[in-house]
Structure 1
Amino acid sequence: MTTQTIIIGGASGMGHALARTLVAENDDVTLVGRSADRLAAARAQLERLGTGRIDTVVADIGREQDIADLFAKVEQVDHVVVTAADSTGVYGATADLATSVARSVLDTKLLGAWLVGKHASGKVTGSITYTSGINAYRPNGSNTIMAAANGALASLVHGLAIEMAPVRVNAVSPGWVDTPIWDNLGMDKDKAFAEMARRLPARRIGTPDDIAQAFLSLMRNGFITGTVLHVDGGHQIIS
Structure 2
Amino acid sequence: MTNAIIIGGGSGMGFALARNLLAEGMDVTIVGRSASRLAAARAELEPAERGEISTFEADLAREEDVAELFAQVERVDHVAVTAADASGVYGRTADVATAIARSVVDTKLLGAWLIGKHAAGKVTGSITFTSGINAYRPNGSNTIMAAANGALASLAYGLAIELAPMRVNVISPGWVDTPIWSQLGMDKQAAFAELAERLPVRRVGTPDDIAQAFLSLMRNGFITGTVVHVDGGHRIT
State the partner residue of 1:117.
Answer: 116
CA deviations over 1:25-73 (Å, ceiling 9, x no partner) = 1110000000111001100111122231111000000000000000001
Q: Percent identity?
A: 77
Mind listing any 5+ residue stretches in structure 2 that lack a counterpart?
none
State the partner residue of 1:235.
Answer: 234
The alignment of Structure 1 onto Structure 2 pairs a total of residues equal to: 237
State the partner residue of 1:186.
Answer: 185
State the partner residue of 2:106.
Answer: 107
CA distance in 2, matches of 1:91, 1:151: 16
CA distance in 2, matches of 1:214, 1:185: 25
Query: What is the RMSD computed on CA atoms of the aligned residues?
Result: 0.9
CA distance in 2, matches of 1:125, 1:33: 22
State the partner residue of 2:39.
Answer: 40
State the partner residue of 1:174.
Answer: 173
Specify the code of the residue in structure 1 equivalent to 2:161. Answer: I
Residue 109 of structure 1 and its aligned partner are, at CA, apart by 0.2
State the partner residue of 1:163.
Answer: 162
Q: Which runs of 4+ in 1 moved over 4 A?
A: none
Query: Any residues of structure 2 matched to 1:133-152 within 5 Å, and which?
Result: 133-152=132-151
State the partner residue of 1:7.
Answer: 6
CA distance in 2, matches of 1:3, 1:181: 27
CA distance in 2, matches of 1:130, 1:164: 15
Specify the code of the residue in structure 1 equivalent to 2:78. Answer: H
Mind listing any 5+ residue stretches in structure 1 that lack a counterpart?
none
Counterpart contact for 1:172–1:228, Cα < 8 Å: yes
CA distance in 2, matches of 1:54, 1:212: 17
State the partner residue of 1:86.
Answer: 85
State the partner residue of 2:74.
Answer: 75
CA distance in 2, matches of 1:184, 1:150: 18
Normalization by structure 2: what TM-score? 0.99
